[in-house]
């Protein structure tokens, strides 16, 4: 099992951040230009509040540089609460992908924390750790650029 944690202190209130990071448009704004996640059109503007819990939401292609498919993700949420979610998904490359995201109020802004537990299917754990860490460091840089940083 691989465990990773990423944290950013952002210059925006939790509701503003949450509205951005819980739509596919916002997710892809974090990921691009490295990766893009496909989604059915009807989910483009849906927020997590409307997502079902404990069942498959949809399948998504992960596209390297927005073009080259490299994984197929089965997106599912265990729980969703005010400014937080626990995703429990799988993909062709990951037997288990557990992603917990929380946005917490701070003086002058908010803290966004991503915690990941990953069980790779066949790739060496060191390689998966390296690539996932690169993607999430990129995501957090994009979030800090978008909202500004308290640090």
In the predicted model, is pLDDT for residue 128 greater than 80? yes
pLDDT score at 43: 82
Give the number of domains in the chain.
1
Average pLDDT, the chain: 95
Token pair 């917490």 is found at 104
Task: Quickly state the pLDDT bin for 132 (edges 50, 70, 90).
Answer: very high
Q: Residue 13 belongs to what domain range?
A: 2-147
Instruction: Give a three-class secondary structure readout of the chain.
Output: CEEEEEEEEECCCHHHHHHHHCCHHHHHHHHCCCEEECCCHHHCCCCHHHCCCCCEEEEEEEEECCCEEEEEEEEEEEEEECCEEEEEEEECCEEEEEEEEEEEEECCEEEEEEEEEEEECCCCHHHHHHHHHHHHHHHHHHHHHHHCECC
pLDDT at 62: 97
Asked if 150 and 9 count as a contact pair (C-beta separation under 8 A), the reply is: yes
Whole-prediction pTM value?
A: 0.94
The pLDDT tens digits for 133-148 are 999 999 999 999 999 9
pLDDT at 3 exceeding the cut of 90: yes
75/42: higher pLDDT: 75
**CATH code for the domain in which residue 8 is found:** 3.30.530.20
Tens of pLDDT, residues 37-56: 999 988 877 777 778 899 99
Rg (CA), the chain: 15
């Amino acid at each position: 099992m691989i465990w990773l944690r990423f944290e950013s202190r952002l210059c925006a209130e939790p509701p503003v951040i949450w509205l951005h990071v819980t739509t596919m448009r916002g997710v892809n704004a974090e990921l691009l230009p490295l990766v893009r996640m496909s989604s059915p059109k009807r989910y483009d503007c849906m927020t997590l509040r409307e997502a079902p819990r404990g069942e498959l939401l949809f399948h998504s292609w992960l596209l390297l540089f927005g073009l080259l498919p490299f994984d197929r993700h089965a997106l599912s949420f265990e729980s969703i609460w005010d400014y937080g979610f626990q995703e429990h998904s799988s993909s062709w490359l990951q037997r288990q992908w557990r992603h917990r995201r929380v946005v917490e109020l701070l003086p002058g802004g908010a803290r966004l924390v991503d915690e990941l537990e990953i069980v790779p299917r066949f790739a060496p754990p060191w390689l998966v750790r390296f690539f996932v860490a690169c993607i999430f460091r990129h995501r957090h840089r994009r979030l800090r650029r978008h909202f500004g940083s308290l640090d």
